Amino acid sequence: MNTHLLALQLMAVQGCLGAFDTLYHHEFAEALPQRPGARRELGIHALRAAIYGLLFVGLAGWEWHGLWAGVLAAAFALEIGLTLWDFVVEDRSRLLPASERVTHTVLAINGGAFIALLALQLPAWAAQPSGFAWQPQGWLSVFLALCGAGVVLSGLRDLLAMRRLGRLGAPAPAEAVRFDTTPRTVLVTGATGFVGQHLVRALLADGHAVIALSRQPRQAAWLFEGRVRCIAALDELGPGTPVDVVVNLAGARILGPRWSARRQAVLRRSRVALTQALADWIGTLESKPFLLLSASAIGYYGIQRIGDDTPLDEAAPPQPVFMSALCREWEDAAGAAARQGTRVETMRFGLVLGMGGALPMMLLPVLLGLGGPLGGGRQWLSWIHVDDVVRAMAHRWRRAAARRDPPVGASNFTAPEAVTQKQFSRTAARVWRRPSFVPTPGWPMRLAMGEQADLLLEGQRVAPTRLEREGFVFRYPRLEAALRSLK
């Protein structure tokens, strides 16, 4: 087989593997652009992206002759050095999940193979007069050029994230949140998630002991620097284990694959089944927790059609749609703990704004100057700053400890100001000094996502009626101030 052609085919495989690693691991699972400790890793990724962009585009249809063969050899050497440096930085800064380690290993093997095949051709290329010889390979060349464009955009994304994290510097210590005057033991599910991390750090700062239930306890222990007891299953805690409060935040991401019957089963298992297991476990304890704080979502209210501006409070009914049924079942499962004598509070989260979660992906079009109305932009978006989420949890905790609430309750965890999607895009563009005029039609989303597209194209205007009635004061009641705190 033609050695040059085989090298280019392996490069195409490298492009596919690299795209999977970037989108799934770096953006989706690990959220590197939002991690202050990932700044150096992002810088290395940006440099590697620049080199790969040069290689993909430059080798898509050309041979590098004469002195340019030496430039190509230097690029190979630099890429190998950066890859090794990246391995060291990753090993020191975070505990990689198994899937990412496997992907990186395959990338290293495949990358070494195509570099070795191209290196074999360098002596012959170096003997030619300096210049570029046009040697197109049909659709393979087109695909490699597209890979080059994609990897350059990815590198630009990492560079912008690195600069942004550099401007932010070390994260300022959050204002202390007081949960209780007595040190407590708290079991947290979903502790390694976006909201969970903020909660755990606030609990530790307030002097409480935290037990994290995680599918990956080693990663959780690494994340919290050994300050949290991490377990993989509830049966690791005996019936005599003292637990005062349980905070249930676990659940698979709602946005993702289409809501097929199989995906719906996964979502129910990660929410409803786990919550049922928690309620059953509480029943086995010799001393019951006095509070179960269990996550839910404003998806409980279903969808609010465009043009309906009625604010929804906690008394609004659910609807016969999947996301509403899922939240209702989730809350019912949590309510079973009340029969064991534990007070139950469900938290119906809106869009949580912070350095993680859904916001960074929502901001990406805005940061690229491509923000604008989505599907018309009139759908309501109910949001809350992550700091107010933690403070509202502490509010619910204090009221439960004082026995000021009924055995089972629900609260809307949303800011007082709901905005339309168009208003959100314009506000974000103003904060980051970008234009906001590019419309995105809704029909491609409906075609690709099915019923799930309602989460983005319909929305709900949800009011935090109960929290405000109880006198809870939001630190970030307005969207612009909330976004500026995250800039």
**Higher pLDDT pick, 7 / 364:** 7
**According to the model, what pLDDT value does residue 167 have?**
66
**Higher pLDDT pick, 232 / 370:** 232
Residue 81 predicted with pLDDT over 80: yes
Mean pLDDT, residues 297-321 taken together: 91
Grade residue 279 by pLDDT with cuts at 50, 70 and 90: very high
pLDDT per residue over 390-429, tens digit each?
A: 999 999 999 999 988 889 999 999 999 999 999 999 999 9
pLDDT per residue over 313-333, tens digit each?
A: 999 999 999 999 999 999 999
Other Cβ atoms within 10 Å of 352 Cβ, number? 20
Grade residue 170 by pLDDT with cuts at 50, 70 and 90: very low
Other Cβ atoms within 10 Å of 444 Cβ, number? 11
Quick one: how far is CA 329 from the chain centroid?
24
Mean pLDDT, residues 51-73 taken together: 94
Grade residue 172 by pLDDT with cuts at 50, 70 and 90: very low
**According to the model, what pLDDT value does residue 168 have?**
58
What gap in Å lies between CA 379 and CA 309, rounded to an integer?
A: 10
Mean pLDDT value across the chain:
90
**Higher pLDDT pick, 205 / 369:** 205
pLDDT per residue over 17-58, tens digit each?
A: 999 999 888 887 777 887 777 889 999 999 999 999 999 999
**Higher pLDDT pick, 169 / 399:** 399
Other Cβ atoms within 10 Å of 169 Cβ, number? 9
The least confident of 81-90, 126-135, 437-446 is: 437-446
**According to the model, what pLDDT value does residue 94 have?**
77
Residue 356: C-alpha distances to residues 210, 321, 348, 360, 363 (Å): 22, 28, 19, 6, 11
First vs last C-alpha separation in the chain = 53
**According to the model, what pLDDT value does residue 173 have?**
46
**According to the model, what pLDDT value does residue 446 have?**
83
Residue 169 predicted with pLDDT over 80: no
